[in-house]
Structure 1
Amino acid sequence: MAFLALGINHKTASVAVRERVAFTPELQVEALRQLCRVTGCREAAILSTCNRSELYLEQETLDSDEVLCWLAEYHRLSLAELRDSAYVHADEAAVQHMMRVASGLDSMVLGEPQILGQMKSAFAVAREAGTLGPLLGRLFQATFSTAKSVRTDTAIGENPVSVAFAAVSLAKQIFTDLQRSQALLIGAGETITLVARHLHEQGIKRIVVANRTLERASLLAEQFGAHAVLLADIPQELVNSDIVISSTASQLPILGKGAVESALKQRRHKPIFMVDIAVPRDIEPEVGELEDVYLYSVDDLHEVIEENLKSRQSAANAAEELVAQGAGEFMQRLRERAAVDVLKACRQQAEDLRDEELARALRLLNNGTPADEVLAQLARGLTNKLMHAPSVQLKKFSAAGRLDALNVAQELFALDERMASDKNPQ
C-alpha cells in the first residue's frame, strides 16, 4: 500500500500554467480511467479547482515520474515545464496534504470552506469512474472527518474570507458606493453564488447573472433578486455594468477585447471593474490593456486576501495539530488493519493444519490404534507442521545474513527469556 498526492497549485504555478493543467468536470471520469490504465494505479481521484490540480493515488508501488509523464502528455505540456511546478507527497505526507487541503490550510484564502465541497465532488466523480477503492475511499472519509473537526473546533472558519469576498472587497475600494452600481456575474457555480451573496449584503443596486443555461442562472438570480440572462446577452449587459466578475468552467474565453471596447464607447468610458476568477480564464488578458478597465485575475487578489487573513492565523496552528493528529491516526488504523489481515491468514493456516492432523488422528482411532499413541502422534505431527514453514524461512534468512528478520522472529515468538535460560541453565 502506498498513497501519492501529486499536483500543482497557486504557490507553485502561475495562472497561465494552472489553466493548462485544469481538468474540466465533463472529462474527469475518462481522465481517471485513462490514468489507471496507463500508470497501473489501483485507485485514483482528481481534484481540479481554479487554484490547484491534484491527483490522489493508491498503489503497492507508485512511480511519480510515470504519473507526471501521463499528466504532461494528457495536457500536452513538456515534462520539464511540469516538473518545475509540480510537487509530490507520499504515504503519510500525502495523507496529511489531503487533510490540509480539505481543511483550507493550503488554500490561497486560509480556511476557505469551498475546498471541502470540491474535495467531496472529487470523491463522487472517482466513485462514478470506478477508480475509488477501499483504501482511497477510507482516506477520503478520514479527510472529511478531520476537516469537519478543524471547522468545528477552531476559529479558522470565522470572519468570512474567500476569493469571492476578496473580489467584492476590491470592488468596494474602487466604487465607494455599491448601492449605485450594477454587477454582471458570469457563471452560476458556488464561487459566483458567494459573490452574489456578498454583493447583495453590501446593498448593490442591481445584479445580472449570465450563464450558459438560463434555468441555472434563474435559480441563482431568484435568491438575490437578480436578473438572469444567457451568455449571448453579455454584450448588451456590459453597457450598464460597473462590476464584472466571472467564474465558469469554459475552456475558451467568454469575454473578448472587442466586446469590452464597444461597451466602453457606449458608456462614454465610464470605468469597469473586472475580476476573472476562472481557470482557464474567462476574460481575454488583452482586455486589461484597455483604458478605463481594471482587470484582476485570481492571482491579483492575493494582496487583498492577505489583509483579511490576520484573524485566522492564530487558529491555523490549532488546525495544523488536528490535521497531524488525523493523519497519524489514519495511518495507525491502516497499519493495524494490515496486522489483522496477517493474523487472519496465520490463524487460517494453523486451523487447516489442525484439521488435517485431527482427521488423521480420528482415522487411527477408528483403526484401533491406542488413544495415548494417537494423542502423541497428533501432538508431534501438529508441532512439526506448524514449525515447518517458519523453520524453512528462518534458515533462508540466516543464510542470507538477515539478522534483522531473526531478531523480529525472536521478538515475535517472545523467545528472549527462553534463549537466555537455555544459555544459563541453573
Structure 2
Amino acid sequence: MTILALGVNHKTATVEVREKVAFAADQLEVALQSLTQLGHVSESVIVSTCNRTELYCHLEQDDLTPVIEWLAAFHQVPVSELNQYLYQHADEQAVNHLMAVAAGLDSLVLGEPQILGQVKQAYQQAKEAGTVGTIFERLFQSTFSVAKDVRTNTEVGQNAVSVAFAAVNLAKHIFSSLSKATVLLVGAGETAELAARHLSEQGVAKMLIANRTRSRGEALAATVGGEAHSLSDLHSLLPQADIVISSTASPLPIVGKGLVESAVKKRRHRPMLLIDLAVPRDIEEQVGELDDVFLYTVDDLQSIVSANRKQRETEAATAREMITQQAAAFSAWLRSLNSVDLLRRYRQSNEAVAEQVLQRAMSSLASGKRPEDVLQELSTRLTNTLMHTPTRAIQEAGRQGDVTALAAYQKLIKN
C-alpha cells in the first residue's frame, strides 16, 4: 500500500512540456476514472494548473511504472521523453509534498494563495468522479487543515514579492482606497498585465491602458475591464490619472517633466502617484521635483521586494515544520490501519479485558460468593466491557453520517 505523488512543475519542465501533460477541465472525470481502472490504483486526485500537473494515487502495490505509462499514453507523449521531467514521492514524502503544495511553499511565487483553492477544486472533482475513498478523504482534509494553519499562524503569504504587486501595495498605502482611483497603465506587457490584475482585484474605479500597439492594449483592457488608448493620447490621459504605472520597453523616457507638470495644473494640484517599472526609465527623473507628485522607480520597489522575500523565506521555515508534524501524524494514522497490527492490538486489548474480569471473578469466589452469581457477573461484565468501545464507535459513525464506517461495522455482526 503506497501513496504516490507524481508529476511535473515549473522547476522540472518548460511551459511547452507542461502544456503537453496538462488536463483540461472536461478531461478530468474520464482521466480519474481511467486511472483508477489500472487495477492497483484504488484512489486518485489530479492537480493540473499552469505551473504543475500532479497525480496523487493510493496504490495497492509499489510498482509505479503503470501510472507513468498511463500518463504518457493519455497525453500521447513518449515515456522516454516524459521520464526526464518527472519527479515522484512516496508515502510520507508524498504527503509532505502535497501539504507543501497546498500551503504555497512549492509555488513559483512563494506563499501565493491561489494554489490552495486549486487543490481543493481538484479534490472536489475527484470526489464527484468517485475516486476519493477513506484514505484520501483523511489525507486531503489534513492537507486543508495544515494549509489553513500556515496561512493563519505564519506570514508566508504576506507582503509583496513582485514589483507589480509592490507597486499596487504602494498605491494602496498612499491612497487609502483604490475604489475611487483612476489608474493609467503605460505599456501592456507582462509586468503591466500583472499590475492590471492586482489592480482589478483591488476594485480600482477606472483603468486606462496606453500602449504603442493598440491591439495589445485592447486585449489587456478586455481582460481587466479597462479602456485601451494609444501612447499619443498621454497628454489627455495623464490629467485623469491619480496613479500612473509605466512599464514599456522604450529606450528613452516617454513621460517628461513638462507633460506631468501640465497634467498637475489641469488636476488643480490633486496629488499624483507615478511608478516607473521600466528599465531604462519611462519617466524622466526630474518629474520627482514637481509639487504634488510622488515618483517611485523600480529600484525603490526592488528593495521592498527583496526584504519581503527574505521575510517569506523565514516564515516558510516555520510553515515547513508545521507540515512535517502534520505529515508525520497522518502517516502514523495510516500505519495504524495495517491489518496485522490492528488484529494484534485488538486481540491484546480483549485479552487484557478478559484477564481483568477473570481476576475479579476469582476474587469473588475466594470471598465465598455463590459460583452461579460469580459466573453471571463475569458474563455480564465481560459483555458490557467488550461492547463499550464498538458501541460508541457505531453511535459516532451514525451521528457523523459515516456510511463507510457503518458498512464495515455491519459486516462484523452478520450471522
Q: TM-score, normalised by structure 1?
A: 0.53
1:24-103 matches, cutoff 5 A: 24-38=24-38, 40-103=40-103
> What does the per-residue CA deviation read over 1:159-214, in whole Å, with 9 as the maximum and x for residues that have no partner?
14579848979xxxxxxx982338999xxxxxx99954434649584279xxxxxx
> What does the per-residue CA deviation read over 1:301-323, in whole Å, with 9 as the maximum and x for residues that have no partner?
xx999845233011011011011
Uncovered stretches (5+) of structure 1, i.e. residues with no partner? 170-176, 186-191, 209-235, 248-262, 275-302, 351-370, 376-426
Cα deviation for residue 344 of structure 1 reads: 7.3
Distance 1:104 1:2, change over 3 A: same
Does structure 2 conserve the Cα–Cα contact (< 8 Å) formed by 1:184 and 1:238? no
Cα deviation for residue 49 of structure 1 reads: 0.7
Cross-structure match for 2:364: none
Could you tell me which of 179, 184, 193 is aligned with 1:180?
184
Distance 1:304 1:49, change over 3 A: farther
Does structure 2 conserve the Cα–Cα contact (< 8 Å) formed by 1:244 and 1:273? no
2:83 partner letter: R
Structure 1 position 206 matched with structure 2 position 210: no
Cα deviation for residue 92 of structure 1 reads: 0.5
Measure the CA separation in 2 of the matches of 1:62 and 1:244. 51
Does structure 2 conserve the Cα–Cα contact (< 8 Å) formed by 1:243 and 1:273? no
> What does the per-residue CA deviation read over 1:265-298, in whole Å, with 9 as the maximum and x for residues that have no partner?
x888999979xxxxxxxxxxxxxxxxxxxxxxxx
Uncovered stretches (5+) of structure 2, i.e. residues with no partner? 170-180, 235-245, 250-301, 352-370, 376-415
Measure the CA separation in 1 of the matches of 2:167 and 2:13. 21
Cα deviation for residue 124 of structure 1 reads: 0.2
Distance 1:65 1:182, change over 3 A: same
RMSD of aligned residue pairs (Cα, Å) = 4.4
Cα deviation for residue 338 of structure 1 reads: 3.1
2:218 partner letter: S
Structure 1 position 238 matched with structure 2 position 242: no
In terms of mean alpha carbon deviation, does 338-347 or 3-12 score higher?
338-347
2:312 partner letter: R
Cross-structure match for 1:174: none
> What does the per-residue CA deviation read over 1:359-412, in whole Å, with 9 as the maximum and x for residues that have no partner?
xxxxxxxxxxxx9xxx9xxxxxxxxxxxxxxxxxxxxxxxxxxxxxxxxxxxxx
1:21 partner letter: V
Cα deviation for residue 148 of structure 1 reads: 1.2
Structure 1 position 332 matched with structure 2 position 332: yes
Does structure 2 conserve the Cα–Cα contact (< 8 Å) formed by 1:184 and 1:241? no
**What is the DSSP-based 3-state SS (H/G/I as helix, E as strand, rest coil) of the residue aligned with 2:23?**
coil
1:8-407 matches, cutoff 5 A: 8-38=8-38, 40-161=40-161, 165=165, 179-181=183-185, 196-199=197-200, 201=202, 205-206=206-207, 238=215, 241=218, 243=220, 307=306, 309-338=309-338, 341-343=342-344, 346=347
Aligned pairs, how many? Answer: 269
Does structure 1 conserve the Cα–Cα contact (< 8 Å) formed by 2:40 and 2:60? no
| Percent of aligned pairs with the same amino acid | 41
Distance 1:107 1:144, change over 3 A: same
1:153 partner letter: N
> What does the per-residue CA deviation read over 1:195-234, in whole Å, with 9 as the maximum and x for residues that have no partner?
54434649584279xxxxxxxxxxxxxxxxxxxxxxxxxx
Measure the CA separation in 1 of the matches of 2:61 and 2:9. 25
**What is the DSSP-based 3-state SS (H/G/I as helix, E as strand, rest coil) of the residue aligned with 2:183?**
helix
Cross-structure match for 1:279: none
Distance 1:322 1:200, change over 3 A: closer
2:105 partner letter: L
